[in-house]
Structure formats: structure tokens, C-alpha cells
Structure 1
């Protein structure tokens, strides 16, 4: 059963933006079947159901979206019709069911955002803001960022990988390099339930860095230089023989000092020996 009328197909071919009208994604027979399931019979009550169905979704006429994203909405409208059929089987109210379904569809459409272009010169800063035009819940809101590299402009989730450590509603890249070209996606969730997904295509422009000057090359070589056979400075404690063997060591002054030192050592030894014998002979 076709879900898209020929007029919608024409808009798709032109790449135009249009409203999320109910007849654009559901057929008349689908709406009749849902109302028949709610009312159980033909007549005025079913006509009221059809009018309520159309009125509930009239507010979506103010919500525009890019038809390149129509496949996302097809699945959402299909799920909506299934949920209404389940509500009708359980004898629920079609007025309440239509109002809830329209509110959920508006939320689903607001989640689908076109890719925003961000043009940044190489070496500058790129800033992405994950802000939506509807009220977010106050609690349990989480942000995550994904990246499709290689300069790819896409909304296909299969090409994205998670950016580690990016958890806030703001993301910044500094300095921007050509490797950052591609599509960044911000995902907003509440307790693992998807609320919105935004896309940013980062286009990095500007020439490559100028070649290094001769002075920069020399300076870089100096920083990277390391001596191959560096001398190791070690402490030196010469012996008495090495000191005496040095030229100029046995001068008259030094000989006098050595003689005085030897006399002091001899006198000290004699004194110690005399004190020892005196102590030894004084014992009873």
C-alpha cells in the first residue's frame, strides 16, 4: 500500500522542503481503517473520528523538513499507525490517541535536522553547539558526539564512530587540521531514549603550512642532537704514591712539612707507649 502520494514524489524530485502533513505519509484507506477500528461502524461517529484525526495533525503543517530525510519519517508514521490500531483494539479513546500520536510525531520531526555547514580555516578553532529548538527534560539528559571522517558528508549512522571524552553540549577542536574534515553528530538522549540528533559538516580550508626556514631546520637539529661519545666525569682520589710522584711535590717546604708530620706521629706513638706501660705497671 503506497504511503506517499504522487505530489510528494514530485517534491522529492525537486529537493524541496514541505510540511509534515498527514496525507503525505498515510493513505485515505489507512485512516478510514483506523477510525473504523475505533468506532466499529460506519456513520456520523466515524466521520467525527476522521475529522478529529485530521485536526490533531493540522499543527504539523507548520513543521517543515527536508525531503531527503523522508525515509526516517516513513518508519515513524508507520509505527504511529500501528500504535493507533493497538489502542483501538484495546477500546481506547481516539481523541486521546490522535493527540498523543500528533505530539510524538512533532517530536520525531524535530529530531531530524539537516546537516549544518561549518567552514573553518586550517589552524583556527571549530565550535559545535548541540542546541535544539524545543524544551528538553530537566533530568537524565546525556550528550555524545560521533564523527564520520574522511571528509564525508552523511547522516548514515553506519559511518560514524564515537568521539571519546566528548560528553557536553559543546564541542571544540583546536587547532583544526585537514584530518578533521567530515561530519560530526551530536546525540541527545534521556535515559537511553533518543531525543535529537544534530549533524555538522566541518569543511577545513586554507593552504598547507609554509616550508620551514633554514634557521628553523637548524634549531630543530640542535634540539634533537645528542653526543655519541660523551665524556663521563668521575671523582678522583689519588694515593700517597701518586701525589709524591707528581712533579714539584718534593719541594723544601713540602719536605719540611712531611718531617714535622713524621715527628708528630713519632712523638704521639712514644707518648701512647709510655702511658700504656705506666698503666700496666701500676696494677697490683
Structure 2
């Protein structure tokens, strides 16, 4: 049995296919349009359609047959500026350069002469390239969410913050034991004036930027942190996080290395302990009593002090007086017997 299909059935089956094909063609044309727009977007960012259309009218007339061709040539001349990317702060200067270019093209179109619009547009595009190369290129610090790193992209006429890491390199801080350690949580770019907070963390004994090793330091507040006096237990990495409205801007790291001898009182105690450990009593027969003579005592360093000299003088005076009394008593006894 041969099945026969009606024309209505064929029409119903053909209609979805045509709709799918039409949708695909429209998608392709839309993608092509978006792609072309991105190629001349730098021109669209700083000029309007009315300005470009007015310049073409000045070149070919109000209703000239080459009006569409002039607009296409205008756009094609600036396709090389599709991927221009500048510092966001310089966008006003680039806008001024395009405004000056529009004014120059108006003067050329008014003068007419031997200039054609294709040559005028090509020369204008070359001048714009020179103007873009003369724009100041900002050099932001290597880390941190900073406004100075914001870029303006002509490909989409929008700005974006440069994708820089939040973590700054680790800074080495060497402090002697017992001294003071000071950390400044400051960055080389301008911070917002309000809603800035600082939080400090510490990873003991480690030089690291892994946040899993850090614990909070609750008593540390503000951009300045001090440790006084520094002890060996303070060796490790200190981290400071800068936030604006609870959004992180930068994280700084300081590795504290504690050097130097221990305090003096600890040193004296250790010396005394070592002397006690090394000490051993000697045998009795090996100990000889010291019976110094008067000459040895006088020869000892520090023996002839003022007090000792006075004592010697008193002893000498008493000895002389005693000798005199004894001699007098002897002579008295001797002559009394005779």
C-alpha cells in the first residue's frame, strides 16, 4: 500500500524547518554584527552617529549617493583601534582627542579641495594612534585591589579593575631579642577615606602565605602593630588584611626573625648553674692551710688602703709606747736596787 501525503502535511512539515533555518541565519547575522561592532567600538566610544553622519554629509552632500559608502569608509578606517586598552584616568584625554579629530574632519570637509573622505579618514585614524601612544601609562603596584589599576577597554566601552593578586610579597623583619618589633600595614596606592578596617593574624614559626595556618590576633587594631619585648615565641609570619566595606583590598605579610643572645639575668643564672654542676669537693689531706706572713699580706693587691695604713700607724705607736714604758720600768728597777 502506497501512502499518499497531502499538501497540507508537507506544508506543516516544511514550516518548522524554515523557522529553524531562519533562526540560524539571524543568529549568524547577529553574531557577525556584534563582531563588527567590537572592531570599531573605540570609535563608537567617543563619537556619536550624528557626528559621523554630519561629517559624511559635509563630504558628499546632504543626500549624496555616496553617503552610505562614506559612513562605511569612516568606520573601516578605525578598525585598527579595536583592541585599545588605556589607563582609566586617561579616558578623558582620549575623549578630547576624538573631539579634536571630529573638529579637524569638519574643517577638511568644509575646505573640500582635493581631499577625498577616504584619505581624510585614514589620516585621522593615524593621528589618533599617535595620540593614544602618547597617553600616560599608569604603573600600579604589583598587588592589591586598587583604583589606579582600573583599565578602559575600547572593545566594549567599559572599564574593569586590573586582575592583580591581593597578596603582597612577604617582608622580612629582623629584631633582636628583647627589642621592639613594629609592623606598618600600608600600601603604595590610595585607599578610600572611609570604612577601612584592618585585621591581624599570626602563624607561629612559619614563613607562609597560606591562610589556613593563621590565627587571629584580637588585640591588634589599626594599621600599626607593635610587639615589645620580642621573644623567640614571636618568630613567625604576621598578616594584615585591609578591607573596605567588608571587601578585601590587600593582604600584607611580615616574617619576624628573632636574633641575639638571651637577657643578661638569664646568662648569669646559666653561668652559675654550670659552675655548680662542674664543682666537686677536694679531699681533706690535699687542702693545705694558708698561713701568710705580714709581708704577704701587705703585698696582696688592695691591702694598703687608708684604713689599713691608719691601723698600722696605731699599732706602731702602741708598740713604741709599750717599749718605752718597759725600758723606763727596767731602768727604775735597776737603779733602785743599787
TM bucket by the smaller chain? 0.3 to 0.5
Calculate the TM-score normalised by the size of structure 2.
0.38
Q: What is the TM-score with the length of structure 1 in the denominator?
A: 0.45
